Amino acid sequence: MNKLTLAATTAALLGCGMASAQSLPPASAFYIVGGAGVAQHDINGGGISGQLVDLGYLGATTSVSNDETAWRIGAGWIAHPNLGIEVSYFDLGKPGYTSTATRPGSLDASIAVTGWSIDLVPQYQFGNNIGVFGRLGYARTESDANFSGSGAFRLGQSSANKTRNNWDAGLGVSYAFTRNLSVRGEWTYYPDLGDDTMGGQWDANVFTLSAVWRF
């Protein structure tokens, strides 16, 4: 085989390879995402104790359960290489608290926090498969509280519910294993959960690890 024939053969093989690579369909702009992590609520136990003291429960002390398992599922559309729109449903666990007072008895509260959001997700993908992204949008949260009391704690109500129209925000990093599959590590902030019937409003910082699949 002379040099001219070898060059022509090589060029033909390279052309076939490039054509084959270009024939692979790009990943769709639509994707689904799901993951889990921890929600760090900041229910103020000291504030709840103070309210109880004001109501006549002398010596009231409160222990809180603020760190809860959280999860989120959603779907998104990449409207622009650097901007996505994402709809999510999330569950921030069941934070709660237990209060006791000098007079024997205890007050227990368990508060389920769920909601959904629609967010703008600005993003940037580096050449080494690593990306960064943010999150900002509308979040509708629902806090459902159940109370139980014993001894000196006589309850006027055993449950309470509060729905809020608010906002959420977040930051994260991603790593793409393939053009279809990537993982995310993310922090998301949800303000003003609950209300005074549950011991006061509080915020939650949520840290999740998620998988993203682009169709």
pLDDT digits (tens, 9 = 90+) for 155-201: 878 999 999 999 999 999 999 999 999 999 999 999 999 999 999 99
Identify whether 22 is part of a domain: no
Identify whether 19 is part of a domain: no
Identify whether 63 is part of a domain: yes
- The count of domains in the chain is 1
| pLDDT reported for residue 26 | 60
Q: Which domain holds residue 50?
A: 29-214
Identify whether 21 is part of a domain: no
> Which residues touch 168 (CB under 8 Å, ≥6 apart)?
117, 119, 135, 136, 137, 138, 139, 188, 189, 190
| pLDDT reported for residue 63 | 97
Residues of the chain with pLDDT under 50: 1-24
Q: How many CB atoms lie within 10 A of CB 147?
A: 20
Identify whether 188 is part of a domain: yes
Identify whether 3 is part of a domain: no
pTM for this prediction:
0.85
CATH number, residue 136: 2.40.160.20
| pLDDT reported for residue 15 | 45
Identify whether 16 is part of a domain: no
